[in-house]
Amino acid sequence: MSTAREQPIFSTRAHVFQIDPATKRNWIPAGKHALTVSYFYDATRNVYRIISIGGAKAIINSTVTPNMTFTKTSQKFGQWADSRANTVYGLGFGSEQQLTQFAEKFQEVKEAARLAREKSQDGGELTSTALAMASHQVPPSPLVSTNGPEEKLFRSQSADAPGPTERERLKKMLSEGSVGEVQWEAEFFALQDSNQRLAGALREANAAATQWRQQLEVQRAEAEHLRQRVAELEAQVAAEPVRAGEKEATSQSVEQLEARVQTKDQEIQTLKNQSTGPREAPDTAEREETQQQVQDLETRNAELEQQLRAMESNLEEARAERERARAEVGRAAQLLDVRLFELSELREGLARLAEAAP
């Protein structure tokens, strides 16, 4: 079958059935899954067809004629008879809305086929009158379904005006079809699709739960590590008073060293003044001794200054280390709060997942 010159004008998905030609009672499903059912328009021949392809063969190839009738037999199932194909087609939809859309499109295509037929024939009024007469002569005969008198099956009339024997055969075929079985089969395949979707969703939920559990374990380990780190930092902060006492002692030592340096500077200055001032009967040995004392004092002064600078540097380092410890404790506490919040969210997600799981 070639649809190269035909264009699709509407498509939907439904479970396709055909009446059993042997029993004329049961429906035969075209497959386990829903198929694409489309309306095609052949502009060359001005013909409308309903086509559904399953695998490499055409499941439905039905030319729409003005006298065909699409009948809704339930909220999700509809059917029509095709005398040319000598069969009855049934469609089970996933929702009532899809069935309504297909039925409306069937009516539109049927009306378009009627107008195309009138235009293609000579004597438009005569043809219309003849079609109207034929329509009044062979009205659709309602058949009560197994679900009650409110659901009726209407036999479609062929555009080629089939003979009484053909009409009776189609009528019997429709009357013997089990509407209840059709509905059950359609619902069964719809439930199969729904179960497959639910099974896929359950597998995804289980995978997500496994991933959340892994993340929860990682978060727990990280939270434990942060607790240990916070404990260590708190111990360091608790030890800061002792360090503070050491720093005070160091500060006192620095002050004492500064005082000693100042005293030595004064002594050096005094000795210099004595050595350079006017003296009577200078003694060479005494002068040399004085100079040696001055040099010793200068050396000691330089050593004291080095010690002072070293102690000041140690004091600054101790202060900087204390500030860094405080900052690290603050950051660790904030990070611990964030991890604990994420951990609580993961627990809530797992609880919701456990409640939703069947």
User: Does 240 have pLDDT greater than 60?
Assistant: yes
CB-based contact 103:72 (threshold 8 Å): yes
The count of residues in the chain is 358
**DSSP H stretches of helix in 177-239:** 179-238
Statement: residue 126 has pLDDT above 50: no
Token pair, residue 240, equals 């800061």
pLDDT exceeds cutoff 50 at 332:
yes
CB distance 38 to 8 below 8 Å: yes
Of 166 and 228, the structure prediction assigns the larger pLDDT to 228
Residue of higher predicted confidence among 90 and 83: 90
Query: Which DSSP symbol is given to 257?
Result: H
Rg (CA), the chain: 51
pLDDT tens-place string over residues 195-209? 777 888 888 888 888
CA dihedral sign of residues 83, 84, 88, 89: negative
This prediction has a pTM of 0.39
CA dihedral 210, 216, 221, 227 (to 10 degrees): -170
CA distance 151 to 76: 13
Q: Among the residues of the chain, which ranges form H helices?
A: 96-120, 124-137, 164-176, 179-238, 240-276, 284-356
Cβ–Cβ under 8 Å, residues 48 and 112: yes
Identify the pLDDT of residue 185.
Answer: 58
Structural contact between residues 177 and 24, judged by C-beta atoms closer than 8 angstroms? yes
| Better-predicted residue by pLDDT, 51 or 328 | 51
Q: Do the beta carbons of residue 312 and residue 254 sit within 8 Å?
A: yes
**Counting Cβ atoms within 10 Å, is residue 297 exposed (0-12), middle (13-18) or buried (19+)?**
middle
Query: Do 97 and 106 meet the contact criterion of CB atoms below 8 Å apart?
Result: no
**Rounded to an integer, what distance in angstroms lies between the CA atom of residue 117 and that of residue 257?**
121
Q: What's the pLDDT at 168?
A: 63
Instruction: Tell which wins on pLDDT, 82 or 227.
Output: 82
Structure tokens at 64: 């729409």
Q: Which CATH number fits domain 10-119: 3.40.50.150, 2.30.29.30, 3.90.1150.10, 3.60.150.10?
A: 2.30.29.30
pLDDT tens for 263-319 read: 877 877 777 776 555 544 456 777 788 788 888 888 888 888 888 888 888 888 888
Residue 145 main-chain phi, psi, to 5 deg: -90, 175
At how many degrees (to 10) do helices 240-276 and 284-356 cross?
160
Report the pLDDT value the prediction gives residue 13, as an integer from 0 to 100.
94
Phi, psi dihedral angles at 29 (to 5 degrees): -70, 145
Helices 179-238 and 284-356: crossing angle, nearest 10°?
A: 160
CB 274 within 8 A of CB 290: yes
